[in-house]
């Protein structure tokens, strides 16, 4: 184990999470490991090997699916409040293990320790939400047009929910899906990112303990590991009625086509190209805080990261100078050290993508105003640390139209009224998160209206990054249209059924049809 890992207690965290022998790549249960090739997980923090897991072979996958299918038959019959009790216990385990799991998230993914703890807190919060939801899986009652008849609708579990998650939120997005799916009566099969496999194993260890303590079938929660080929087993499997996938637009289109070909359901959370509009009535201090955190938090590797700052020409220079000055105060380094603001990118492939983006914006006519670059030397041995960069650009630049999963912020200028800024913001294929900074009520309401922001998330006087679990999370256009977490997102994990009951001794037919026998 590296010096950093030792200094920040990673060994202890792994032991607390049941990963003390993870370097062996040995099996500790049906749903933990497979018999395929080995994935080695290296930390972007210091380049050290954290551990190894075996991938899921087709034969392993079949065993998992058989177990999940069998478990669903029992789990769906348990009353929803009792399923909620299991989720409550899972939330309690997460509270006990918040610190070690937060450390693992930070060390394996590279986000700051504070963000790692925050991600685990999101898991806890969604468990609390799901527990309450377990007593509120409601349907509607409707008046029948026929005398002596009653109509209502109810919701039933779908079956097996397949979950494909991305590296940037290696535990929270899984919990958003599973906590709701479990109380709805579904069982889950999860393929975490091959870039953060240990976080997946840690979560499976935690829920497996809860399942065992309650003498429930282990297939309620299953884990499969590997690359896109393992994901394809699930997206093409008719035994999986719903696939929830988080990742790039390219990946989402592949998943959507595969699932649609078998008339399955897909919940997609894909790319974002999120903008903050800054009007002449904006609070500049609030703007800087929201824009800088949104752009550099998680090293720009959030789907809600701020990519574009659309500034009115009358205050453009003032806002630009303030943001540039704030960037000079950023501390880049070991994310486990809470004094640092920015950690590493996930791997060197992400670094290459970052460098190409900066080259591309210059080639298209943009101007770099905060220089980027890859950091080297002591503390940066992994080769994954980069400087957050800012470029002046135009919205129609090809590079601006695409999502770059790195800390690159584009400054765009608009003139005239807020409609012009909204048109720029909406002028991309993605539609996840958006924000406006203004103290003008009319501008704010215009932004939130039907002819305003076309994104699934639209904020006023806060940034684009992050979301509360109480609201449904997701976006429109090529972001995929999916909704996870709060509000009525639970309905996607269930099938709707309309029921009509005749409590008379006659059978009147609809629309007055006569059919006498």
What dihedral do alpha carbons 163, 165, 171, 174 form, nearest 10°?
A: -20
Half-sphere exposure of 92 (CA within 13 A, CB side): 9
Decide: residue 241, CB within 10 A, 0-12 exposed, 13-18 middle, 19+ buried: buried
Taking the CB of residue 146, how many other CB atoms lie within 10 A of it?
Answer: 16
- Phi, psi angles (nearest 5°) of residue 87: -65, -35
403 is catalytic: no
Both tokens of 146, joined, read: 């026929």
Cα–Cα separations (whole angstroms), residue 499 to 142, 149, 159 = 10, 10, 20
Q: How many CB atoms lie within 10 A of CB 90?
A: 25
Q: Which residues have a Cβ under 8 Å from the Cβ of 355 and sit 6 or more positions away? A: 372, 374
User: Which among 482, 440, 436 has a CA at the least distance from the CA of 164?
Assistant: 482
Per-position DSSP letters for 306-345, written without gaps between them: EEEEEEETTTHHHHHHHHHHHHTT--BS-TTSTT-SB---
Of the residues 119, 122, 269, 403, which is catalytic? 269
**Residues with catalytic roles:** 269
């Amino acid at each position: 184990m590296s010096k950093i890992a030792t200094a920040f207690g990673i060994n202890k965290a792994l032991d607390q999470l049941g990963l003390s022998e993870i370097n062996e790549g040995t099996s500790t249960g049906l749903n933990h490991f497979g018999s395929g090739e080995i994935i080695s997980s290296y930390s972007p923090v210091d380049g050290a090997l954290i551990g190894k897991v075996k991938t899921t072979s087709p034969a392993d996958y079949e065993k998992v699916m058989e177990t999940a299918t069998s478990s669903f038959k029992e789990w769906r019959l348990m009353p929803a409040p009792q399923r909620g009790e299991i989720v409550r216990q899972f939330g309690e385990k997460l509270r006990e293990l918040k610190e070690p799991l937060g450390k693992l998230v930070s060390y394996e993914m590279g986000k700051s320790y504070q963000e790692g703890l925050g991600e685990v807190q999101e898991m806890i919060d969604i468990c609390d939400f799901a527990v309450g939801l377990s007593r509120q899986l409601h349907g509607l009652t409707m008046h029948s047009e026929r005398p002596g008849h009653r109509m209502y609708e109810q919701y039933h579990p779908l079956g097996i929910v397949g979950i494909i998650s991305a590296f940037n939120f290696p535990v929270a997005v899984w919990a958003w899906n599973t906590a709701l799916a479990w109380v709805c009566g579904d069982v889950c099969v999860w393929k975490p990112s091959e870039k953060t496999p240990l976080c997946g194993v840690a979560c499976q260890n935690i829920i497996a303990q809860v399942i065992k303590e309650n003498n429930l079938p282990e297939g309620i929660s299953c884990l499969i590991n590997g690359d896109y080929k393992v994901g394809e087993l699930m997206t093409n499997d008719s035994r999986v009625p719903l696939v929830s996938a988080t990742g790039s637009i390219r990946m989402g289109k592949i998943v959507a086509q595969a699932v649609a070909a078998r008339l399955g359901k897909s919940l997609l959370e894909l790319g974002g190209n999120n903008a903050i509009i800054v009007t002449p009535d904006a609070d500049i201090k609030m703007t800087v805080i929201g824009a800088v955190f949104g752009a550099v938090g998680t090293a720009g590797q959030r789907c809600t990261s701020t990519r574009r700052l659309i500034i009115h020409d009358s205050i453009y220079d003032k806002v630009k100078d303030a943001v540039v000055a704030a960037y000079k105060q950023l501390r880049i380094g070991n994310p486990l050290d809470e004094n640092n603001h920015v950690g590493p990118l996930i791997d060197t492939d992400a670094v290459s993508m970052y460098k190409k983006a900066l080259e591309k914006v210059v080639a298209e006519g943009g101007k770099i105003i905060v220089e980027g670059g890859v950091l080297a030397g002591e503390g940066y041995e992994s080769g994954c640390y980069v400087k957050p960069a800012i470029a002046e650009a135009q919205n129609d630049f090809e590079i601006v139209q695409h999502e770059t999963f790195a800390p690159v912020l584009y400054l765009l200028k608009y003139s005239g009224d807020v409609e012009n800024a909204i048109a720029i913001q909406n002028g991309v294929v993605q539609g996840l998160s958006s924000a406006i900074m203004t103290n003008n009520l009319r501008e704010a309401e215009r932004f939130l209206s039907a002819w305003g922001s076309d994104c699934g998330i639209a904020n006023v006087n806060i940034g684009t990054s992050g979301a509360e679990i109480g609201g449904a999370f997701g976006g429109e256009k090529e972001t995929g249209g999916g909704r996870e977490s709060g509000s009525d997102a639970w309905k996607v994990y269930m099938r709707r059924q309309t029921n009509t009951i005749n409590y008379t001794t006659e059978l009147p037919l609809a629309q007055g049809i006569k059919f006498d026998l």
